[in-house]
């Protein structure tokens, strides 16, 4: 085209410019998404075809995740790749490979995907702290994870669990009472909500140091907050959008908070939980007489010497050995002692709550289901329990 001819092309109007720029932006965005969704294919990991908008989220939601994953494993083999939003996930069902990842080569797989991000601070460029989330075991990475994990692990030894047994027993007493009341009516009843209440009470009392009574008081405000917070439904459209279009995370997090606040009748449930735990931590630090034999106290008291000597084995709470005792001995030397800050304790209480609630209540309910269907196994367990009660007087065993 000659220069004169070019001059005769009508100039783009404002609207045309807008449409053109929008079209270019959409094309660039689609190219970017296409590139995101080519990672697994390029790595040779087989799996279901992702959609450009939602990755494989819609497939997961439509069938339910367990069913979809089951089908994919049958179709593609023991290693399957799929996308949660644009995030590639590699699902491994090969036991030998899992052992390498979780045991022999674990040092290469310490970090998890970053779930909650605060974004960079304007002045320092450092990641902003998200209260309740930034400093817990699931979010921490590399050396910092190892450090906090080595401080927390001794709190889970059998002897420490034994100290917490009275707290757990009092919650179990309520469960037994409630089961007896319900079975007296002769009507069938659902055990799952009862196990949810039990788990909520044990974790609330041990990790948060708050005396919840969710099994007997369904209107407990803390119970309401926790339930709102822990209600995870993958079909929630807001969650689907937030997972699929992560770049708008400020908007999703604002909408998420708004949704939680509305569901929790006007107060942010996470804020309520955080404020309660902060108060308890401050009280425990301030007054010796408010000490309690629970997980929260163990975290407040926990200390380790400098990390250099911590081995991978020491990151696992072994039955009878109680790492913290030997550590407190060496703490009398001039070595560097590490303790958890209030923020570390707060965030890890929150993750204990989240990590323990669904897992434990589901495991208890499923175990009950299996015991009902396998009466011979139930009899065997009953005999073992009875034997232990006869010989030891209680069920607390140090393995
Ligand atoms: C039957 C019950 C439970 C099951 C099936 C279960 C399952 C798991 C699994 C599979 C992981 C590893 C996840 C990963 O590698 O990304 C994990 C990690 C974790 N669980 Fe549990 N869990 C249970 C109970 C609990 C309880 C009661 C607590 C707290 C009191 C808890 C706290 C944690 C924490 C903090 C982590 C992260 C550990 C770290 O990164 O160092 N879990 N759990």
Give residue 277's pLDDT.
Answer: 87
The pLDDT tens digits of the residues spanning 284-303 come to: 888 888 888 888 888 888 87
3-state DSSP call for residue 119? Answer: coil
CA of 54 to the centre of ligand 1 (A): 28
Residue nearest to atom 16 of ligand 1 (CA): 112
CA 149 to ligand 1 centroid distance, Å: 12
Q: How far is the CA of 5 from the centre of ligand 1 (A)?
A: 70
**311 pLDDT higher than 70:** no
pLDDT at residue 71, rounded to an integer: 96
* Closest Cα to atom 38 of ligand 1: 137
117-126, 181-190, 324-333, range with greatest mean pLDDT: 181-190
Burial class (CB in 10 A: 0-12, 13-18, 19+), 345: buried
pLDDT tens per residue, range 140-199: 988 889 888 888 888 888 888 888 888 899 999 999 999 999 999 889 999 998 998 999
Q: pLDDT-based confidence at 369, cuts 50/70/90?
A: very high
Q: What percent of the chain has pLDDT over 90?
A: 35
Residue 332: what pLDDT?
47
Q: How many CB atoms lie within 10 A of CB 302?
A: 23
| CA of 198 relative to ligand 1 center, distance in Å | 18
Is 167's C-beta closer than 6 angstroms to any atom of ligand 1?
no
Dihedral sign for Cα 362, 364, 367, 372, please.
negative
Q: Which residue has the higher pLDDT, 301 or 397?
A: 301
What proportions of the chain, in percent to the nearest 5, are helix, strand and coil? 65, 5, 30
Q: How confident is the model at residue 306 (pLDDT cuts 50, 70, 90)?
A: low
Q: How confident is the model at residue 19 (pLDDT cuts 50, 70, 90)?
A: confident
Answer whether 359 contacts ligand 1 (Cβ < 6 A). Answer: yes
Gap between the Cα atoms of 99 and 103, Å rounded:
5
Is residue 115 classed as helix, strand or coil in its secondary structure?
Answer: coil
Nearest CA to ligand 1 atom 10: 359
pLDDT at 359 over 50: yes
Place 258 in a pLDDT band, splitting at 50, 70 and 90.
Answer: confident
Coil, strand or helix at 87: strand
Nearest CA to ligand 1 atom 6: 359
Q: What integer pLDDT is reported at residue 100 of this predicted model?
A: 95
Q: What is the pLDDT of residue 326?
A: 37
What percent of the chain clears pLDDT 70, i.e. is strictly above it? 85
Per DSSP, the three-state class of 358 is helix
Per-residue burial over 153-188, b if 16 or more Cβ lie within 10 Å, else e, is: bbbebbebbebbeebbeebbebbeebeeeeeeeeee
């Amino acid at each position: 085209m000659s220069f004169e001819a070019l001059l005769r092309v009508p100039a783009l109007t404002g609207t045309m410019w807008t449409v053109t720029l929008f079209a270019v932006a959409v094309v660039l965005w689609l190219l970017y998404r296409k590139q995101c969704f080519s990672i697994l294919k390029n790595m040779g990991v087989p799996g279901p075809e992702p959609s450009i908008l939602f990755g494989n989220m819609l497939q997961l939601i439509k069938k339910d995740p367990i069913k979809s994953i089951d089908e994919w494993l049958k179709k593609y083999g023991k290693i399957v790749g799929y996308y949660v939003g644009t995030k590639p996930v590699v699902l491994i069902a090969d036991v030998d490979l899992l052992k390498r990842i979780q045991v022999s080569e674990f040092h290469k797989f310490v970090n998890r995907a970053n779930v909650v991000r605060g974004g960079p601070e304007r002045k320092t460029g450092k990641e902003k702290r998200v209260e309740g989330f930034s400093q817990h075991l699931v979010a921490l990475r590399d050396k910092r994870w190892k450090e906090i994990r080595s401080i927390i692990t001794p709190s889970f030894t059998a002897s420490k669990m034994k100290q917490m047994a009275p707290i757990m027993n009092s919650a179990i007493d309520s469960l037994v009472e409630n089961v007896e009341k319900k079975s007296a009516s002769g009507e069938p009843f659902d055990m799952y909500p009862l196990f949810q209440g039990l788990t909520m009470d044990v974790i609330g009392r041990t990790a948060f140091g708050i005396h919840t009574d969710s099994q007997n008081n369904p209107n407990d405000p803390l119970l309401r907050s926790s339930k709102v917070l822990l209600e995870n439904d993958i079909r929630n459209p807001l969650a689907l959008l937030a997972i699929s279009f992560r770049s708008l995370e400020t908007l999703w997090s604002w909408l998420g908070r708004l949704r939680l606040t509305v569901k929790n009748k006007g107060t942010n449930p996470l804020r309520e939980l955080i404020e309660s735990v902060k108060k308890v931590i401050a009280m425990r630090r301030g007054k010796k007489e408010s000490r309690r034999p629970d997980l929260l106290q163990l975290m407040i008291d926990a200390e380790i010497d400098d990390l250099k000597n911590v081995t991978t084995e020491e990151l696992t709470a072994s039955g009878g050995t109680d790492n913290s005792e030997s550590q407190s001995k060496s703490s009398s030397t001039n070595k560097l002692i590490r303790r958890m800050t209030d923020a570390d304790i707060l965030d890890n209480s929150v993750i204990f709550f989240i990590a323990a609630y669904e897992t434990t209540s589901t495991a208890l309910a499923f175990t009950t289901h299996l015991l009902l269907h396998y009466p011979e196994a139930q009899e065997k367990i009953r005999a073992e329990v009875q034997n232990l009660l006869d010989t030891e007087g209680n069920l607390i065993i140090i393995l």
